[in-house]
Chains A and B, each alone.
Chain A
Amino acid sequence: MRSVNLLEWMFALIGPVGLACGSVLMKFPEWLGGAFSTSYVAAFSKKAEPAEGGVETTAEDPAEQAPEWPTDAGSVQSLVDEMLKQSRYALLLRPQLVENLTVDQLIRTRAALSDGMCLVPEGQVVLHRGAGICDGDGESAAHGSVPVYVLAFYLDRYPVTNAQFHDFVASGGYEQMAIWDQEILPALLDFVDQTGHPGPRYWHNGRYPRGENNHPVVGVSWYEAAAFSRWAGKRLVTDAEWIKAGSWPVALEGHPLLQRRYPWGEAMDRSRANLWGSGPGRTVSVDQFPGGVSVGGVQQLIGNVWEWTADAFSLENSDGSAGLEKTHFKSLRGGAFDTYLDTQATCHFQSGDRAMARKHNIGFRSAINLGDLIKRDNGYEVVPSQPVEPSLAETQK
């Protein structure tokens, strides 16, 4: 009975998140009565082939212990557990799905959300138009400041790691057409690693370099970042959201909005971020440089890797006319381990790159609207952990 309900909400979902959820269920062809072709299911369930000779992962790496899909295919519980292992908690907290969680699973899902993401409250943030153009002191010329209202959202506490992206690759993320932008489908076969396997550019045999499971994933295009976010039930963060999370604006009556230049304050402190001259000259684990944390608890917004955002990159002339030749550039924020100038590692500086670029210092993090998740006061009550059965919906009855 529950599986029928699950199908109902799946098809009720509109948009890529729904498709992503649906693709999860297609692992269970028997539920679907053979409605989908076996070949698609086979393609979907294809996993990265084991490493041969190339870069290997260590035994303790999560990649080494890549979770197997449940053999008892009918078990929704197993599926939920698996999704939690893959940090796809954002999907489970959708109102349409949460009814199928047991109390224990709901508690664990909420805990995963708290561990993995930070809540950024709604409010105004000022975007500088033409932020990429700098004046004499290197800061934004701000030909015009645009106040933007941002709704409350959750933002990944850390950039997406190699281990997290490996889950996406191993679960056939590169073969799930539904989570990719239509325009990029013809180029999907180009998104391969050094050995020709689907995956980030600098991986070998579908695996990340040894010991870098907790490093931010790099060598991914904007499209790969967007597809991963959809697979995880999230989306790419927008420019305004990214700046809000970092600069944490304060609105005082009668004063312009106070926005920090750096997450920790107004002055550059290279001991708080992995930048040129302050780190080892390469990516580091996402939990290093804890001093760079933002007010809301987001780590490494500045330094380590540039982060793709959902928005397009633009250069504007001082009269507001478009200054950039027509190219498919997407916005980048935050600076990376090799960012040389302090003025380019601020909350306000915007850089950009071709959406197809797969570079050694560009990663990403995802976000989700608070309104897209169930609320604590919507009738579901979190109770202490209990045995897996019965489901929360049954408990409510």
Chain B
Amino acid sequence: MNRGIAVELDSFRLANFGNQMPCLICEEGNMLDADTCRNCYAPMILAHQAQSQSTPPVMFAALGPSGVGKTVYLGMLLDMLSRQPKQLQLSARGGFSVTLQQNTLAALARLEFPNKTPNEPDRWNWVHCQLRSPKHRHPVELVLPDIAGEALFEEVDHPRSYRVIHSMLSRCDGVLVLIDGTKLQSGSLDEDYFTMKLLSHLSELPKDPKSNWSNRPVALIFSKADQCESCFDDPAGYAQRHAPGLWRVCQQRFRKHRFFAAGVAGACATRTLRGGGLQSVPLRIEPRGIVEPFEWLVENLRT
């Protein structure tokens, strides 16, 4: 008499491992059990999770120079949208997607800003979450990386030096560009130049004419606006007054763009460390203008 028994067919598993798993960001083939893409160092878990979905995920990126507040902005945004039952909601897919908001909020609770994001792509925090919004009947899969500012500008100055950034920017459905409002207010032109370079780089990325960057939404956010409150009153006017170059580039090259102002710390102080260094201290956490730019990006997504 025969008995049915289950025997693992290792050969099939081996065959499966032989298949190439395309990276979600650069689409290069990788081993099935690879942690990070061998080409761009993006985490392969994004590809595995995306494979289980019928539609490819939407991708947003937060861009800006080092120290502008990208990590704080993203961490705060994710925390706000995952804590409250509002119309726009985010729910993390996988534990790794909570790390960014956890690290950010833990630092802010200690009255510190989070550590600088390292330049190495395999040490960045990536977020994969489900987005629910009134505009979309079904939840939308969303991928958001926390890109290091120095790496970003290395890529802008020397294209393809960071393949993950090149691929990400080519595939992105919208970007949040952060500009330090306090530096602009102090008269520094660096922020203007940085952002002009970045936007020029975006607009020159090869893409088919229908989906090039001139049609994709670009939210320009004056960060640290709690320290230059006139930003909140009229962000577009602020851009015109303090960053005329950036203003013109946006008018000429990006059909869907809007200026915003955002702040996370209600006030900041500069603290003298025992070693003699200086440290900026957020004296209290009161997010302002954080959700609006993201909401606008979602509204302007191509459907």
Contact = CB atoms under 8 A, between A and B. Distances in A.
Contact of A353 (B84, B281, B283, B285): B283
Given A325-B269, A343-B109, A351 B274 contact: no
A135 B110 contact: yes
SS class, residues of chain A in contact with chain B? loop
A351 B83 contact: no
Nearest to A141: B110
A353 B108 CA distance: 17
B132 interface: no
Given A325-B269, A338-B286, A277 B83 contact: yes
Contact of A319 (B274, B281, B285): B274
A128 to B, nearest CB: 14
Contact of B266 (A322, A343, A361): A361
Contacts of A325: 269-272, 278
Interface string A307-345: 000000101010101111101010010011011110110
B287 interface: yes
B111 A353 contact: no
A170 B109 CA distance: 42
A191 to B, nearest CB: 15
B201 interface: no
Question: Chain B interface mostly helix, strand, loop or mixed?
Answer: strand
A379 interface: no
Contact of B111 (A133, A136, A276): A133
Interface string A346-363: 000001111001010100
A138 B110 contact: yes
Interface in A150-181: none
Interface in B261-281: 266-267, 269-274, 278, 281
Interface in B244-303: 266-267, 269-274, 278, 281, 283-288
A141 to B, nearest CB: 9
Contacts of A313: 283
B271 A341 contact: no
Nearest to A350: B283
A315 B284 CA distance: 13
Contacts of B267: 351-354, 357
Contacts of B110: 134-136, 138
B161 to A, nearest CB: 37
Nearest to A139: B109
A132 B285 contact: no
Nearest to B284: A351
B109 A138 contact: yes
Contact of A341 (B84, B108, B283): B108
Most buried by A among B111, B266, B271, B273: B266
Contact of B272 (A133, A322, A338, A344): A322
A336 B278 CA distance: 28
Give the interface size bracket for B toward A.
20 to 34
Given A134-B109, A134-B110, A315-B269, A339 B285 contact: yes
Interface in B104-135: 105, 108-111
A194 to B, nearest CB: 10
Nearest to B274: A317
Nearest to B79: A340
Contacts of A357: 267
Contact of B283 (A138, A323, A343, A352): A352
A317 B271 CA distance: 9
A323 B272 contact: yes
B91 to A, nearest CB: 17
A26 B16 CA distance: 94
B269 A344 contact: no
A323 B288 contact: no
B274 A321 contact: yes
B269 A339 contact: no
Nearest to B282: A351
B109 to A, nearest CB: 4
Interface string B223-250: 0000001000000000000000000000
A77 B219 CA distance: 62
B266 to A, nearest CB: 7
Contacts of B229: 359
Contact of A359 (B109, B266, B272): B266
B48 to A, nearest CB: 34
Contacts of A315: 269, 271, 281
A185 B288 CA distance: 32
Nearest to B85: A277
A53 B82 CA distance: 42
Contacts of B286: 276, 336, 338-340, 361
Contacts of A276: 286-287
A322 B269 CA distance: 13
A318 to B, nearest CB: 8
Nearest to A352: B283
Interface in B179-229: 229
A344 B283 CA distance: 10
A132 B284 CA distance: 9
A80 to B, nearest CB: 41
A281 to B, nearest CB: 10
Nearest to A332: B284
A342 to B, nearest CB: 9
A341 B79 CA distance: 11
Contacts of A340: 285-287
Contacts of A136: 110
A323 B271 contact: yes
A354 B268 CA distance: 10
A339 B271 contact: no
Nearest to A337: B286
Contact of A338 (B84, B270, B274, B287): B287
Interface of B: 83-84, 105, 108-111, 229, 266-267, 269-274, 278, 281, 283-288
26 contacts: A132-B111, A276-B287, A313-B283, A315-B281, A317-B274, A319-B274, A322-B272, A323-B272, A324-B269, A324-B271, A324-B272, A325-B271, A332-B284, A335-B284, A336-B266, A338-B286, A338-B288, A341-B109, A341-B285, A351-B266, A351-B284, A352-B267, A352-B283, A353-B283, A357-B267, A361-B266
Interface of A: 132-136, 138, 276-277, 306, 313, 315, 317, 319, 321-325, 327, 329, 332, 335-336, 338-341, 343-344, 351-354, 357, 359, 361
